[in-house]
Amino acid sequence: MNSKQVVLITGSSTGFGRLFAEALARKGHTVFATMRDPGGRNAKNASEIRTLAEKDSLPIYVLEMDVTDDASVERAVDAAVAKAGRIDVAINNAGYVVSGLAEAVTPEQAQRLMDTNFLGPVRVNRAVLPHMRRQRSGVLIHISSAAGRIIAPSMGFYCASKFALEALAEAYSYELAGQGIESVIVEPGQYETPVFGNVVTGADEARTDTYGAVKEIPAKVQAALSSSAGNAQEVANAVLRIIETPAGERQLRYFVSPQNFGVDEINALSKQVQAKILAAFGLAADTKFLKGKAVGTV
């Protein structure tokens, strides 16, 4: 892989995605900053990114991509490959939070959440993998969350979407290493981005009328998260370091957080258990590539 890489990012209109685009482009990486509706609801965000790119001569190209739409994902990936000739890194970042007691969240809300947070990366990975396999190199980065490893009441559906993402990303890591492709999971704690203003609340609140004090939990959890949020640039710096880590030396999981919730301990134990499981399936010899992939922080 060249030291200067071609990176496709989902959900680049605001927050982490936007910071990743700028941080990577300032280091000379070519960035396809994708977002939904750059000509409409995200016109201002798209124009700010294009203006920055022009002013500072940064290699950032804005492309339209809605991760819930197969054709939109394929169009964006095709456009990036047509322009740059390759894709070295795909950052699955687009996502949002559903907050609410589980019974208040409707199946339609749950379905939409999974369509973005879980099936979005499925679509993106399916679109980029043929190019990465041809190159015999590449990195899939999955922006999960501490909530992909720990569970809070009122966050059940969001946690489920990130747990699902983690499971898939880990399976990819075993299956793709032999092709020279790494799958990496980033688990941010709480960071200051527009995410807290974009929280979708359970639509069927009347269902929780009998829950008493438990009804206060969603507001309490959101307030605790937003009041202790760290500087999001930390996550952008971590992603930059991951991308600039030599191929084959990246870890499977990176927990990046202003607070230590013990996620590193879960990750360390999970790594031991997974090694035993792979050995029990007779797969240990096929997974030599796992050597050196210690979990930890960047």
Ligand X SMILES: NC(=O)c1ccc[n+]([C@@H]2O[C@H](COP(=O)([O-])OP(=O)(O)OC[C@H]3O[C@@H](n4cnc5c(N)ncnc54)[C@H](OP(=O)(O)O)[C@@H]3O)[C@@H](O)[C@H]2O)c1
Q: Which stretches of the chain bind ligand X, using CB under 6 A?
A: 10-11, 13-17, 35-36, 42, 65-68, 93-96, 116, 143, 145, 188, 190-191, 193-195, 198, 229
**Which residue lies nearer to ligand X by CB, 62 or 217?**
62
**Which residue lies nearer to ligand X by CB, 11 or 202?**
11
Q: Which of 158, 172, 191, 254 is catalytic?
A: 158
158 in catalytic set: yes
Q: How far is the CB of 133 from ligand X (least distance, A)?
A: 24
DSSP 80-147: HHHHHS---EEEE-----EES-GGGS-HHHHHHHHHHHTHHHHHHHHHHHHHHHHHT-EEEEEE--GG
Helices within 118-262 (DSSP H only)? 119-135, 156-176, 217-227, 233-244
Q: How far is the CB of 253 from ligand X (least distance, A)?
A: 13
Q: How far is the CB of 116 from ligand X (least distance, A)?
A: 5
**C-alpha to C-alpha distances, 166 to 41, 120, 180, 181, nearest whole angstrom:** 30, 13, 20, 17
Q: How far is the CB of 107 from ligand X (least distance, A)?
A: 18
Classified as helix, coil or strand, 271 is helix
**Which residue lies nearer to ligand X by CB, 155 or 181?**
155
User: What tokens were used for 209?
Assistant: 């009328």
**Which residue lies nearer to ligand X by CB, 193 or 287?**
193
**C-alpha to C-alpha distances, 214 to 150, 158, 234, 290, nearest whole angstrom:** 19, 18, 34, 43
Classified as helix, coil or strand, 67 is coil
**Which residue lies nearer to ligand X by CB, 238 or 290?**
238
257 in catalytic set: no
CA dist., res. 163 & res. 106, Å (int): 19
Residue with tokens 């960035």: 31
User: What tokens were used for 235?
Assistant: 């996550």
Cα–chain-centroid distance for residue 183? 11
Q: How far is the CB of 59 from ligand X (least distance, A)?
A: 20
Q: Which of 162, 173, 254, 293 is catalytic?
A: 162
144 in catalytic set: yes
Q: Which of 12, 137, 144, 161 is catalytic?
A: 144
220 in catalytic set: no
End-to-end CA distance of the chain: 21
CA dist., res. 218 & res. 224, Å (int): 10
**Which residue lies nearer to ligand X by CB, 177 or 263?**
263
Residue with tokens 């002013």: 55
Q: How far is the CB of 191 from ligand X (least distance, A)?
A: 4
Give the catalytic positions in this structure: 13, 144, 158, 162
